[in-house]
Structure 1
Amino acid sequence: MANKQVRKTVNKKDPKPTFAPVTFSEESGVRFLHFGTWWVQGAMRINKPDFIELEYAQQMMAGLLFLDPNDKRLKISKSKKSDKPFHMVQLGLGTGALTKFAHKHFPKAQVTAIDLNPAVIVAARVMFNMPPSNQHLHVLQTDALKYVTNKKNKESIDLLQVDLYDATARGPALSSPEFYQACYDSLKEPGVMTVNLFGNHKSYKSNITNICNAFNNRVMVFQQVHDCNIVVIAFKGPHLEVDWSDVKGRAAYLEKKYGLPTKTWVPGLRSENARQENYLSI
């Protein structure tokens, strides 16, 4: 469960945001990020700093089943190739797990991470091996809502990963219809958004509704994993209709290439989503 938009206003005379404290713990070779509570906001295996440790965070890479950042094509559909650089954006940095993985494995892509809390950015670099910004990697201290509503960022993102939680994990910090519509508007065609939701919280149904409304019901969900995390996948662009055997083939390739447990994703996606038994159609 990751939070990068934790903030509160002290009073009307002091509009500057304040943040929950950034704290750390280590256990069995894994370093954890916290915001002053026992809730885990991110993790890194110390001897594998570029690997995505948490299961839900691994699933946040599910867009790779459909888009290839090194090739800019929807691999299992009839999508045209684009000359523009593939752009991956993470709303919420945390330990930088998604950002580091993307920057390491997809050198042709532009990777942008957004976080409002400057202490989180420092922690990612000092405690979690986040590389400094460079030609292909940009870490911006700004508000995620402002980023996706900025007209300059309209239709600029291929793969958008949203993981915005407060320190007490009381639902996503940004979840309004306007926010998800802005996420949709920020995507190119084809484009994919993955979102981490808290399935055991009252906010879950409203988030699903808002995502479905923004993405014209082109939404799929993973099965719930640890700490009630449920990853949602939303699609923009041409209709996708492929045999599950093609999805399995793509998953097997990704697992061999990047070490993600992608082959385990396919059965769950097939069974968890209605009317997807025979082939993927969305």
Structure 2
Amino acid sequence: MKQAAIPRLPEVQFSDEGRIRHLHLDSIWIQGSMDQRDPVRLVHEYVQRMMAWLLFVEPDCVPQRRAMQLGLGAGSLTKFCVKMLRMPTTVIELNPGVLHACRGWFHLPEAGPLLEIVLADAEQEIGNPKWWGMVDALQVDLYDHEAAAPVLDSVAFYAACRRLLTEAGCMTVNLFGRRASFQHSVARMAEAFGAQALWRFKATREGNTVVMAFNGGPGDAHPGVMLRDRAARLALGARAEEIESRWGLPARKWLKGLEPVFEAAAPKG
């Protein structure tokens, strides 16, 4: 019996641009970056926006929540969750070369009480029931080596992602690429989460659009309800200020920039 061919994984390289170090996968396209003078700082605006779920979590409770990243990249989100938020974090990465590069070139800590690293195909791994209902913050950033389109972008994939989330969990997704279609991607997410569960930021100058998909939450505490209600949205301003004070993230800017993906989810009145 012939064994199935093992797909070739791209080789990993890095380049330095002043104090900023970039990760590449067999191409010129940047898969992640690090400030060599401040390795935990989130360099790119879109990566900062991937943390916007913090608006809907009491800051003192963050270390009791669990984060999961699908795709390690340069390890930026993983380092921030572990080192700054002190949050139990699992990362699923297919390419062992990316893991070795992050440890050698991007200051990724070794696995320990707060960090679990799983070398596996994300699509297969999230089908493991041990993860279901366990994740409060799911961060999805899965691209091919040319950063052309999301590797996983089906209704079935987004439904599997939702199954990972706790009742009040949130998925943040980076949508970027020359062949990617934003409308097709969010339509698939809407089928898995519901249209009113989806919120977005406008694209960054580099073309990255971060979408947030909320699983649920009790009554008025549902993030989508809070964002649609003007009074509740104003009340989130105090939390945004605390996020900025504690972790140096531009949370007040997030709150101003979040908008519904579909107009039916817009605030009324």
Determine the structure 1 residue equivalent to 2:198. Answer: 219
Q: RMSD over aligned Cα, in angstroms?
A: 2.0
Alignment match, 1:75: none
Residue in structure 2 matched with residue 122 of structure 1 by the alignment? 100
- Higher mean alpha-carbon deviation, 148-157 vs 182-191, is at 148-157
Q: Which moved more, 1:264-273 or 1:39-48?
A: 264-273
Judged with a 3 Å threshold, the aligned counterparts in structure 2 of structure 1 residues 131 and 213 are, in CA distance, closer, same or farther, namely same
Name structure 2 gaps, 5 residues minimum. Answer: 227-231
**1:237 aligned residue:** 216
In structure 1, distance between residues paired with 2:35 and 2:132: 35
Partner of 1:164: 142
Provide the residue aligned with 2:69 in structure 1: 90
Q: What pairs up with 1:1-282 in 2 under 5 angstroms?
A: 15-68=5-58, 70-71=60-61, 85-107=64-86, 109-198=87-176, 201-217=179-195, 218-238=197-217, 239-240=222-223, 241-242=225-226, 243-270=232-259, 274=263, 275-277=265-267
DSSP-derived class of the 1:265 partner: helix
Larger RCO, structures 1/2 (Cα 8 Å, 6+ apart):
1
Shift of 1:170: 1.9
Name the SS of the counterpart of 1:48 in structure 2: coil
Normalising by the residue count of structure 1, what TM-score does the alignment of the two structures yield?
0.85
The aligned counterpart of 2:229 is none
* 1:273 to partner: Cα distance: 6.3
| Alpha-carbon displacement from aligned partner over 1:53-98 (angstroms, at most 9, x marks no partner) | 11101100011111247415xxxxxxxxxxx942100000011100
Aligned to 1:8: none
For 1:117 and 1:199, how far apart are their aligned partners in 2? 20
Preserved contact between residue 75 and residue 108 of structure 2 (Cα < 8 Å): yes
1:140–1:69 CA distance, 2 compared to 1 (3 A): farther
Q: Quick one: distance in 2 between partners of 1:86 and 1:199?
A: 31
What is the CA distance between 1:191 and its match in structure 2?
A: 0.4
Larger helix fraction of residues: 2
Q: Once the 2 structures are TM-superposed, how far is the Cα of residue 203 of structure 1 from its aligned partner? A: 2.9
- Large movers: runs of 4+ above 6 Å: none
Q: Aligned partner of 2:257: which letter?
A: G
Q: For 1:139 and 1:272, how far apart are their aligned partners in 2? A: 32
Alignment identity in percent?
A: 38
* 3-state SS of paired residue (1:220): strand
2:33, 2:43 within 8 Å by CA — same for their partners in 1? Answer: yes
